[in-house]
Amino acid sequence: MRLALAQARLAPAGGDVPIGAVVVGPDGEVWGRGHNLREATGDPTGHAEVVALREAARTRGEWRLSGGTLVVTLEPCTMCAGAAVLSRVDRVVLGAWDDKAGAAGSLWDVVRDRRLNHRPEVVGGVLEAECAALLTDFFDGHR
């Protein structure tokens, strides 16, 4: 989670919300890193999770990221939860919960929907206070 937090701290330089993500393999090797890039790139899919999953797929040379763990500072939205499912990561580890748009157990539970063919394990609340504070500080500075 510390690596994801470091990624999150890079996002505001491009005008983006400080959310960071990393994809790590079973041995702890980092397969991919990402932070929000929507504002910086004008890409609506430029969420930290998608950026990290894309880099992980390039690193691995395949889209199936079995054995991998997606670590993200904020609970994934529906798009990112879907990307986690479709990438076949084994687990999603998240920092702060998002009761407004979260899709890993808060508002929706896309990642554990029994109708889907893959359901990653979810571990939530890792360094939750630190992850939440990063977001709160960012938004306090923009009000």
The answer to whether residue 55 is catalytic is no
- The whole-angstrom separation of Cα 6 and Cα 114 is 33
131 is annotated as contributing to ligand binding = no
Contact indicator for 91, 122 with CB cutoff of 8 Å:
yes
77 is annotated as contributing to ligand binding = yes
Q: Which of 49, 121, 128, 130 is the catalytic position?
A: 49
118 is annotated as contributing to ligand binding = no
The CA-based angle 100-103-104, given to 5 degrees, is 120
Half-sphere exposure for 34 (CA within 13 Å, toward CB): 28
Which own/partner contact pairs does 57-63 have at CB distance under 8 Å and 24+ positions apart?
Answer: 57/32, 57/87, 58/32, 59/31, 59/32, 60/31, 63/87
- The whole-angstrom separation of Cα 20 and Cα 7 is 5
Catalytic residues: 49
Q: Binding site membership for Zn(2+): which residues?
A: 47, 77, 80
